[in-house]
Structures are given as C-alpha cells and as structure tokens.
Amino acid sequence: MSLTPPPISLSTSDERRQWIRERFPCLADCEACGLCKIYHGRDVEDVYADYIAGTRSFEEIREEFRRL
C-alpha cells in the first residue's frame, strides 16, 4: 500500500475510501494506536469524508486536525 493518498483527479471515491481504510485501520486498542486521540474519537472515514467525496484534499483535512 502506498503511503501517498491517491490524487482526487486520478482516483474514484471507492479507491480513496479503500486507501483510508487500509492506511488507518482500527486496531481496537486506542491506547496503543493513537488514532482516536488524533481524530478526537471520530471515525477516520467520517473525518476524511470530503476527501473520499473528492471535494477537499487529504492534506487540507490532515492539517486541519493537526491544528486542533
């Protein structure tokens, strides 16, 4: 799996959703993983819904959460 998100212009929403699922899997161990803390308990697919839909870039959303 690539560490770089698929560009919106070259991918489908299903491909972007699959990349998010593979890149940010729930390990069911929040203390060890840290994703829940980073994304304030929100499901990662919900966090990146605009990227999956193709309306905002992955980077834009990532930066938004880094500032919180």
On whether residue 49 sits in a domain, the answer given is: yes
pLDDT computed for residue 34 by the predictor: 85
On whether residue 41 sits in a domain, the answer given is: yes
Cβ-proximal residues to 19 (8 Å cutoff; 6+ apart), any chain = 1, 2, 5, 6, 11
Give the residue with greater pLDDT, 66 vs 56. 56
Residue 54 has pLDDT above 80, yes or no: yes
pLDDT computed for residue 37 by the predictor: 84
On whether residue 30 sits in a domain, the answer given is: yes
* Total number of domains in the chain: 1
pTM here?
0.88
Q: What is the largest CA-CA distance in the chain?
A: 36
Domain that holds residue 53: 8-67
On whether residue 2 sits in a domain, the answer given is: no
